């Protein structure tokens, strides 16, 4: 369940309306023509949490074991992020490029 | 001779050989070395050439490039001092500018001091084509160093000096990450200015932060490739154009990408994950708590508490930690997670693990009352908890049905219930759930699904469906289900009334219309039995007014039947022509079939010879119709199950197959198998077996293996087992199949499994027929004979006392003794481990595999095997056996066990690989 919240960039207390608005916002940003994979992931996540009962079940009922191994499961959480962009200064960017200065 | 001496000797020899080469040959060799990245060798050769032939322009250029390459190599290795020494040599051999290419200049200037760079620039003629490039490089260097003094050497009207003031201010903004301001500040800089790429970069960064990726990609395409920050933009472009986020390898294996600083920290999250998994292996709860919290904060800063709970639950669900570990971690996590959230986590785990399900549900519901302030939300969750318990019980009932009573030992917890009590508990939980949250539709569907069979549940169902009808005032579904229930209870008036309500709720719903029309047919039948002849035909007319196509043949058949029942002698003149032509040919044949069935079931009214005449008439009509296979499938298709109250006992296919046995002539073997699967009904198995046997007698049968398999399964399904003569065995058929055929058979088995029950169903679904064909007589078999056609009602007959008798019998005692014996033998095995022969090891391995076989765990999921393992561990009699076997396997160092055996004995395959004793 956490993966869906991460993917949509929402807090677990978000209500139906917040979820829908965020989904529409992301769909506008990641259109199916330009970002087909991301669009699919976002839609799958929206479908998974749009129903209030499903959200409550996932939160308050015991989790079932999955077929994935533990590491893959957690790596998916990391990769689910919306690649949020960070504001970085010139100096830090130059340092990054110096590291890349290879023959 | 030492290595050094050997090397010196070789070098001397090489140098000597170089003395004989011409200058061209030496330069060629140096070029070759440079192309292969061997800067040192190239420098050596070029020095020899310089000494022998003097310095020429081509030689100086090559030497310059060789020194440049060496400098880069040393810098990349972090040997800065050595690189600076090479730099001096590089400056000393700097060739005339006219010989230098653009890349030479960029390479030279990239690590030159600003003074050197300015001197180099001043050495250029004003019209030199390299001027623009060098000016840009100087601009970049000035920006990177933020040291503007060298500009004093340039005239005041020089483009680099003119815009310097603006750029200095903008660089300050850029250093603060304020790219938008920097872009505004750089606005006066012209496109021809050496600082122009810097303005373009500011624009790119502004677009990047505004997430305007389309324009950003256009800007990236316009960026000069020599701009030092260009790799960042290229990396951003690659990320944006890639379909998925970039794959991050192990951080140690790959340096961070140039734009890594611009994205939220994925690499760091992966490092933390690696660390957490390492700690998990070491069983250090304190470090694990810190690491879990750290990872949670990294992946989900929006709500780290939620993430911590999720991670802990995942670790528990995947058996990486157990409930005890979570309990022990509580005090370590209190700073990060509120106690109430940890209480809920523990309650969830108890709900899954505690054999006292009812107690676990009650305590969880009480906890929810305390922790969730909103009463509606709280009740909703409590309803879910009750439904969870009900579903769990249902799963256990199914497992008991599938595995027999030994499942109570190994697969499901022994809750001390009889099957009937389990059903009752389950029903109570569903009702409790409905009471708490009447708006939860799934609860009603689940109740309908599970309570349909038991007679005692009809009142419960009625009550629940009435609640549902009140809760969802526009939904016809509860009304339709209620009408079915009322018909089952022979409450006709109530059924009609509730169907009227359904019509009111959904007047255009096809299901509702059809059901209401059917209710009139049912009423007509009832009135006929009560001898209300005038009402009978009125009801049928009413049914007709709904215009249901599916129901039409049934209405016509009933009308004709009621006429015939008044004048039974007319049956002898019945023919296809008597059936109204408004119906299709197939429907008319179905009407004739129905009349034949009805007449056959009322031999008190109709004469046998008249019935036989109808049968002949039906046969001729089918023959004359000359139907294609698809039409025959339509003809034989069963009526919808809701029509059952007004249909003859047997399916219509039975009547038609009685009348015309050669109906399958036009069917290919492949089509025949599909049709049989579609039409399957226990009452027509005899006909299907007959046709298959007849076809198998022919030798040229491409589907013979599938047909043999089908036939054998039908023989097992035949409700008349006394006539069962098995000419084949599954094992024999499977031995003959190729890999492709095997897959097809497996598919067929699954489809057949949908119609089977009990052990046969299990075998078909698992595609393993050993349990069916080789009776198991072993330590763990409680001589329980699983009937192939057991249904739930039969299971309900099992009484608690039967179970208790089973648990206390001699075999149970035997289990205990074996466990004790194995326990005693353990030290002995350890002592003599080195004396164990290969044969002993093989025997021990076979014992373990037999143990898995006897528990029916082959091919089972990880979860089922772990559940079995848990049950074995919980039972005082079986635990020693499990422990001893694991211990012996460890002592004997047997690692090549099956997957199932590894999980059963060691808890996981990785534990088994390390022979980690798990107890």
Backbone phi and psi for residue B609, each to the nearest 5 degrees, phi listed first: -65, -30
Distance in Å, alpha carbon of A98 to nearest chain B alpha carbon: 9
B73 in A contact zone (CB under 8 Å)? yes
Q: What percent of chain B has pLDDT over 70?
A: 83
Which residues of chain A have a CB within 8 Å of the CB of B244? 37-38, 79
CB–CB of B314 and A29 under 8 A?
no
Report chain B residues whose CB lies below 8 A from the CB of A9: 302
Which residue is closest to A75 within chain B, CA to CA? B270
Q: Quick check: B742 contacting A, CB < 8 Å?
A: no
pLDDT (0 to 100) of residue B783: 34
Name the residue facing A86 among B75, B261, B351 (closest C-beta).
Answer: B261
SS3 state of residue B607 = coil
Selected residue with higher pLDDT from A99 and B416: B416
The answer to whether B444 and B826 are in contact (CB under 8 A) is no
Q: Please report where in the chains the tokens 């179905």 appear, as a residue.
A: B590
Angle between the N-to-C axes of helices B441-451 and B458-471, in degrees from 0 to 180, rounded to the nearest 10: 160
Half-sphere exposure of B82 (CA within 13 A, CB side): 12
pLDDT tens digits, residue range B177-212?
899 999 999 888 888 888 888 999 999 999 988 878
- A85 has which bridge partners? B263
Whether the predicted pLDDT of B535 surpasses 50: yes
Q: Is A82 exposed, middle or buried, given 0-12, 13-18 or 19+ CB atoms closer than 10 A?
A: middle
Predicted confidence at residue A43, as pLDDT, reads 94
Contact assessment for residue B53 and residue B24, using Cβ atoms and an 8 Å cutoff:
no
Confidence of residue B781 (pLDDT cuts 50, 70, 90): very low
DSSP letters for chain A: -HHHHHHHT--TT--HHHHHHHHHHHHHHS-TTT-HHHHHHHHHHHHHHSSHHHHHHHHHSPPPP-SS-HHHHHHHHHHTS---B----HHHHHHHHHHH---
The CA distance from B738 to B744, in Å, is 10
B671 has a chain A CB within 8 A of its CB: no
Instruction: Look at residue B242 and tell me whether its pLDDT is greater than 80.
Output: no
Closest CA to B329 of B288, B376, B291, B374: B288
The confidence score (pLDDT) of residue A24 equals 93
Region B583-610 average pLDDT? 81
Q: Under an 8 A CB cutoff, do A97 and B231 touch?
A: yes
Q: How many CA atoms lie within 13 A of A35 on its CB side?
A: 21
The answer to whether B277 faces chain A, any CB pair under 8 Å, is: yes
Confidence check: pLDDT of B137 > 60:
yes
Chain A residue nearest residue B171, CA to CA:
A90
- Which residue do the tokens 């800063």 mark? B301
Residue A33 has pLDDT above 80, yes or no: yes
B747 and B674 Cβ atoms separated by less than 8 Å: no
Mean pLDDT of B142-163: 81
Backbone Cα Rg of chain A: 18
pLDDT band at B755 (very low <50, low <70, confident <90, very high): confident
Answer whether residue B40 shows pLDDT above 80. Answer: yes
What domains, with CATH codes, occur in chain A?
2-100 (1.10.287.110)
Contact predicate B446/B436, CB 8 Å: no
Q: Which of the listed ranges B59-63, B97-101, B622-626 does the model predict with the highest average pLDDT?
A: B59-63
Report the gap between the CA of B388 and the closest CA in chain A (Å): 8
Tell me the β-bridge partners of B263. A85
Q: How far apart are CA A50 and CA A30, in angstroms?
A: 19
pLDDT value of position B159: 79
pLDDT value of residue B801: 38
Mean pLDDT of A79-94: 78
How far apart (Å, rounded) are the C-alpha atoms in residues B814 and B808? 10
- State the DSSP code for B466: H
State the nearest Cα–Cα gap between A56 and chain B, in angstroms: 7
Of A2, A57, A69, Cβ closest to residue B310: A2
What CA–CA distances, in Å, run from B8 to B48, B49, B324? Answer: 16, 20, 69
DSSP secondary structure letter of residue B457: G
Residue B539 has pLDDT above 80, yes or no: yes
pLDDT at residue B109, rounded to an integer: 78
Chain B residue closest in CA terms to A86: B262
Average pLDDT for B615-620:
82
Instruction: Determine contact: B79 vs chain A, CB below 8 A.
Output: no
Note the residue count of chain B.
919
Query: Predicted ipTM?
Result: 0.86
Report the residue from B177, B270, B273 with minimal CB separation from A88.
B177
- Residues B255, A99: C-beta atoms closer than 8 Å: yes
- On chain A, the residues whose CB falls within 8 A of the CB of B320 are 70
- The reply to whether residue A79 touches residue B245, judged by beta carbons under 8 angstroms, is yes
Task: Inform me whether the pLDDT recorded for B230 exceeds 50.
Answer: yes
- pLDDT score, position B525: 84
In the CATH hierarchy, which fold is given to the domain comprising B474-548?
Answer: 1.25.40
Closest CA of chain A from B332, distance in Å: 22
Q: Which of residues 14-53 of B touch A (CB under 8 A)?
A: 37
Inform me whether the pLDDT recorded for B595 exceeds 70: yes
Tell me which chain B residues have a C-beta less than 8 angstroms from the C-beta of A88: 177, 261-262
* pTM attached to this predicted model: 0.57
DSSP state of B95: P
d(CA B668, CA B652): 23
Q: What pLDDT, in 10s, does the model give residues B827-886?
A: 555 555 666 677 777 777 877 877 777 777 777 767 677 777 877 777 766 777 777 778
What does the pLDDT average to over B500-513? 87
Q: Cβ(A32)–Cβ(A79) under 8 Å?
A: no
Query: Do A103 and B209 make contact, defined as CB atoms within 8 angstroms?
Result: no
- The band of B700, judged by pLDDT with boundaries at 50, 70 and 90, is low
* Annotated domain spans of chain B: 267-341, 474-548, 553-663, 679-774, 803-913
Residue B785 burial (10 A CB sphere; 0-12, 13-18, 19+): exposed
Contacts of A73 in chain B (CB under 8 A): 314, 318
Task: Please tell me the distance in Å from A64's CA to the nearest CA on chain B.
Answer: 6
- CB atoms near residue B47 (< 10 Å): 14
Q: Phi/psi of residue B395, each to 5°? A: -60, -45
Please report, for residues A48, A61, B302, B308, B452, the alpha-carbon distance to residue A52 in angstroms, rounded to integers and kept in the order given. 10, 14, 20, 22, 29
Q: How confident is the model at residue B2 (pLDDT cuts 50, 70, 90)?
A: low
pLDDT exceeds cutoff 50 at B521: yes
Chain B, window 197-216: residues with a beta carbon less than 8 angstroms from a chain A beta carbon? 208-209, 211
Three-state secondary structure call for residue B14: helix
- Select the residue of A5, A61, A103 nearest B348 (Cβ to Cβ): A61
**Lowest mean pLDDT segment, chosen from A20-34, B24-38, B219-233, B852-866:** B852-866
Structure tokens at B231: 């790799």
Using the beta-carbon criterion (under 8 Å), do A79 and B228 form an inter-chain contact?
no
Angle in degrees, CA B174, B178, B184, rounded to 5: 85
pLDDT digits (tens, 9 = 90+) for B257-297: 567 677 766 667 777 888 888 888 777 788 888 888 888 88
Closest chain B C-alpha to A84 CA, distance in angstroms: 6
At residue B113, does pLDDT exceed 60?
Answer: yes
* Residues 6 or more apart in contact with residue B747 via CB below 8 angstroms: none
Closest CA to A83 of A24, A42, A33: A42
Interchain contact B377–A (C-beta under 8 A): yes
* B370 touches A at CB < 8 Å: no
């Amino acid at each position: 369940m956490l993966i869906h919240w991460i993917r949509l960039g929402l807090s677990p207390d978000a209500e139906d309306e917040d979820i829908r608005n965020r989904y529409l916002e992301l769909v506008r940003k990641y259109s199916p023509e330009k970002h087909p994979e991301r669009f699919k992931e976002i839609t799958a996540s929206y479908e998974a949490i749009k129903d209030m009962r499903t959200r409550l079940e996932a939160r308050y009922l015991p989790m079932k074991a999955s077929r994935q191994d533990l590491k893959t499961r957690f790596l998916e959480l990391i990769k689910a992020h919306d690649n949020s962009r960070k504001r970085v200064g010139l100096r830090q960017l130059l340092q990054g490029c110096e590291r890349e200065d290879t023959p | 001779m030492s290595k050094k001496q050997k090397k010196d000797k070789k070098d001397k020899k090489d140098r000597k050989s170089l003395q004989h080469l011409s200058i061209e040959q030496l330069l060629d060799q140096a070029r070759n070395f440079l192309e292969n990245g061997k800067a040192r060798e190239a420098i050596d050769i070029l020095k020899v050439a310089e000494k022998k032939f003097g310095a020429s322009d081509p030689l100086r250029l090559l030497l310059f490039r060789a020194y440049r390459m060496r400098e880069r190599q040393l810098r990349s290795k972090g040997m800065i001092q050595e690189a600076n020494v090479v730099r001096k040599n590089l400056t000393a051999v700097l060739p005339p500018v006219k010989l230098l290419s653009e890349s030479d200049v960029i390479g030279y200037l990239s690590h030159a001091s600003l003074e050197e760079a300015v001197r180099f620039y001043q050495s250029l003629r004003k019209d030199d084509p390299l001027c623009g490039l060098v000016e840009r490089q100087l601009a970049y260097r000035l920006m990177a160093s933020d040291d503007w003094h060298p500009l004093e050497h340039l005239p005041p009207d020089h483009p680099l000096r003119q815009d310097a003031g603006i750029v200095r201010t903008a660089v300050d903004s850029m250093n603060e990450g304020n790219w938008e301001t920097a872009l505004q500040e750089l606005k006066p800089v012209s496109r021809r200015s050496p600082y122009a790429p810097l303005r373009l970069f500011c624009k790119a960064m502004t677009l990047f932060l505004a997430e305007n990726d389309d324009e950003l990609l256009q800007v990236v395409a316009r960026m000069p490739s020599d701009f030092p920050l260009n790799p960042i933009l290229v990396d951003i472009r690659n990320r944006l154009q890639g379909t998925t986020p970039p794959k991050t390898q192990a951080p140690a294996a790959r340096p961070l990408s140039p734009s890594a600083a611009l994205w939220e920290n994925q690499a760091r999250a992966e490092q933390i994950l690696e660390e957490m998994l390492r700690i998990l292996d070491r069983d250090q709860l304190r470090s694990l708590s810190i690491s879990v919290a750290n990872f949670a904060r990294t992946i989900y800063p929006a709500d780290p508490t939620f993430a911590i709970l999720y991670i802990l639950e995942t670790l528990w669900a995947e058996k990486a930690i157990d409930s005890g570990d979570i309990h022990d971690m509580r005090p370590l996590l209190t700073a990060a997670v509120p106690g109430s959230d940890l209480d809920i986590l523990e309650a969830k785990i108890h709900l899954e693990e505690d054999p006292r399900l009812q107690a676990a549900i009650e305590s969880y519901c009480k906890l929810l009352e305390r922790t969730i302030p909103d009463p509606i939300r709280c009740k909703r969750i409590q309803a879910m908890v009750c439904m969870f318990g009900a579903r769990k019980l249902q799963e256990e009932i199914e497992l008991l049905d599938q595995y027999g009573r030994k499942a109570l030992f190994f697969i499901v917890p022994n809750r001390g219930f009889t099957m009937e009590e389990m059903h009752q508990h389950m029903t109570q939980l569903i009702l409790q759930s409905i009471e708490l949250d009447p708006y939860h539709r799934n609860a009603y569907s689940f109740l309908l699904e599970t309570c349909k069979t038991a007679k005692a549940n009809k009142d419960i169902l009625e009550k629940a469906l009435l609640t549902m009808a009140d809760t969802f005032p526009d939904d016809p579904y509860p009304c339709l289900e209620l009408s079915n229930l009322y018909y089952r209870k022979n409450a006709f008036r109530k059924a009609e009334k509730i169907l009227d309500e359904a019509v009111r709720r959904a007047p255009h719903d096809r299901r509702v219309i059809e059901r209401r029309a059917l209710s009139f047919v049912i009423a007509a039948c009832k009135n006929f039995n009560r001898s209300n002849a005038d009402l009978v035909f009125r009801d049928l007319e009413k049914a007709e007014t709904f215009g249901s196509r599916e129901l039409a043949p049934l209405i016509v058949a009933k009308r004709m039947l009621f006429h015939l029942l008044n004048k039974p002698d007319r049956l002898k003149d019945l023919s296809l022509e008597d059936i109204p032509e408004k119906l299709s040919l197939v429907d008319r044949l179905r009407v004739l079939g129905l009349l034949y069935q009805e007449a056959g079931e009322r031999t008190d009214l109709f004469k046998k010879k008249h019935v036989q005449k109808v049968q002949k008439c039906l046969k001729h009509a089918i023959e004359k119709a000359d139907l294609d296979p698809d039409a025959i499938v339509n003809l034989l298709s069963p009526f919808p199950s809701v029509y059952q109250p007004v249909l003859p006992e047997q399916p219509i296919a039975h009547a038609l197959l009685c009348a015309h046995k050669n109906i399958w002539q036009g069917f290919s073997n492949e089509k025949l198998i599909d049709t049989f699967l579609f039409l399957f009904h226990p009452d027509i198995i005899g006909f299907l077996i007959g046709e298959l046997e007849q076809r198998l007698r022919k030798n040229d049968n491409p589907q013979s293996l599938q047909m043999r398999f089908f036939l054998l399964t039908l023989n097992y399904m035949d409700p008349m087992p006394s006539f069962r003569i098995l000419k084949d065995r599954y094992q024999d058929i499977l031995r003959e199949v190729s890999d492709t055929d095997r897959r097809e058979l497996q598919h067929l088995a699954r489809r057949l499994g949908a119609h089977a029950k009990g052990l046969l169903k299990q075998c078909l679904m698992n595609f393993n027929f050993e349990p069916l064909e080789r009776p198991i007589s072993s330590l763990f078999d409680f001589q329980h004979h699983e009937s192939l056609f057991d249904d739930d009602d039969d299971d309900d007959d099992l009484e608690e006392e039967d179970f208790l008798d089973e648990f206390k019998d001699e075999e149970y005692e035997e289990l205990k003794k074996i466990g004790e014996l194995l326990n005693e033998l353990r030290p002995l095995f350890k002592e003599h481990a080195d004396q164990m022969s290969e044969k002993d090891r093989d025997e021990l391995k076979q014992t373990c595999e037999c143990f898995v076989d006897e528990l029916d765990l082959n091919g089972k999921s990880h979860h089922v095997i772990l559940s079995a393992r848990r049950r074995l561990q919980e039972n005082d009699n079986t635990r020693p056996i499990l422990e001893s076997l694991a211990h012996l396997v460890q002592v004997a160092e047997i690692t090549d066990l099956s997957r199932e055996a590894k999980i059963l004995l060691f808890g996981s395959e990785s534990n088994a690989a390390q022979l980690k004793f798990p107890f």
